[in-house]
């Protein structure tokens, strides 16, 4: 079992698309409940029938359209406020306590080729060739009020061919679920109102809560999937919600 777990950790790490300053990424400021500036994007990204030409990367585990998100205790989808956003792991991140939030948009040939191959593998019935991608990565981020060394690493990848749009949520290492201000234990990062994962189009019709969201089991999200690859969730989001089945592994990181 130890050998299997070590192998799965390597596999999970390999799920992440390259990130960091050496990849040309920008970093968010060290700020509780902070956000990036509004980021103009070079390729329109259609999210449930609405094209967007800018987005925000929010410290608390959210990529949002049209509005930044400072809320640290997550609500279940659909939201009353009508915010359109993608939430790889919406919780009370505090990068002052540790970690960085990286992001970039790219038309790098290697990244687009990887997006194309991944989407074609998971959605073989949909002809797709990526022309643009956006990669946002929360790297070893701590939680608000942390009195531990627990950190989380996760990622959101947005990609489009100019018409069809997909989001990919990747999980490398999840150790905490809740910040202290959300009722979590400062020493464990658990309890209270745990993190939410999924997406919300803002129309109260097209949304998805990844199973275990806002429950203690969300700490094991790295062992779940809807595409047969533990630690990865992928959705077509331009128009239709993809059918979802959940799978898990016996080695939960």
The predicted-structure confidence for 103-126, as pLDDT tens digits, reads as follows: 999 999 999 999 999 999 999 999
Which residues have C-beta within 8 Å of that of residue 98, sequence separation ≥ 6?
140, 141, 142, 146, 151
pLDDT at 2 > cutoff 50: no
Half-sphere exposure of 238 (CA within 13 A, CB side): 15
Q: What does the pLDDT look like over 35-87, one tens digit per residue? A: 999 999 999 999 999 999 999 999 999 999 999 999 999 999 999 888 899 99
Average pLDDT, the chain: 91
Burial class (CB in 10 A: 0-12, 13-18, 19+), 125: exposed
Q: How far apart are CA 155 and CA 152, in angstroms?
A: 10
Band (240; pLDDT cuts 50, 70, 90): low
Global pTM value: 0.91
Instruction: Return phi, psi of residue 230, to 5°.
Output: -55, 130
Q: How far apart are CA 173 and CA 127, in angstroms?
A: 32
Q: What does the pLDDT look like over 195-217, one tens digit per residue? A: 999 999 999 999 999 999 999 99
Query: Other C-beta atoms within 10 Å of 127: how many?
Result: 10
Q: How far apart are CA 247 and CA 76, in angstroms?
A: 21
Q: What is the 3-state secondary structure (H, E, C) of the chain?
A: CHHHHHHHHHHHHHHCCCCCHHHCCEECCCCCCCECCCEEEEEEEEECCEEEEEEEEECCCEEECCCCCCCCCCCCCCCCCCCCEEEEEECCECCCCCCEEEEEEECCHHHHHHHHHHHHHHCCCCCCCCCEEEEEEEEEECECCCCCCCCEEEEEEEEECCCCEEEEEEEEECCCCCCHHHCECCCCCCECCCCEEEEECCCCCCEEECCCCCCHHHHHHHHEECCCCCCEEEEECCCCCCCCCCEECCCCC
pLDDT at 5 > cutoff 60: no
Q: What does the pLDDT look like over 136-191, one tens digit per residue? A: 999 999 999 999 999 999 999 999 999 999 999 999 999 999 999 999 999 999 99
Q: How far apart are CA 213 and CA 34, in angstroms?
A: 22
């Amino acid at each position: 079992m130890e050998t299997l777990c070590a192998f799965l950790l390597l596999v999970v790490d390999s799920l992440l698309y390259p990130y960091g300053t050496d990849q040309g990424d920008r970093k968010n400021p060290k700020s509780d409940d902070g956000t990036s500036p509004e980021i103009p994007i070079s390729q329109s990204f259609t999210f449930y029938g609405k094209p967007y030409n800018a987005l925000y990367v929010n410290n608390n585990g959210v990529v949002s359209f049209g509005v930044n998100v400072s809320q640290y205790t997550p609500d279940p989808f659909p939201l009353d406020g009508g915010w359109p956003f993608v939430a790889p792991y919406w919780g009370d991140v505090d990068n002052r306590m540790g970690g960085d939030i990286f992001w970039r948009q790219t038309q790098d040939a290697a990244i687009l080729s990887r997006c194309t191959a991944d989407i074609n593998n998971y959605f073989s019935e949909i002809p797709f060739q990526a022309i643009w991608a956006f990669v946002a990565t929360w790297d070893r981020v701590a939680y608000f009020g942390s009195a531990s060394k627990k950190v989380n690493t996760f990622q959101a990848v947005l990609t489009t061919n100019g018409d069809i749009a997909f989001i990919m949520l990747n999980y490398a290492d999840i150790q905490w679920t809740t910040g202290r201000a959300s009722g979590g234990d400062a020493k464990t990062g658990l309890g209270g109102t745990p993190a939410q994962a999924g997406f919300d189009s803002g129309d109260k019709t097209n949304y998805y809560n990844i199973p275990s969201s806002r429950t203690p089991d969300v700490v094991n999200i790295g062992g779940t999937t809807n595409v047969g690859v533990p630690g990865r969730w992928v959705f077509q989001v331009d128009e239709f919600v993809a059918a979802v089945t959940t799978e898990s592994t016996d080695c939960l990181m």
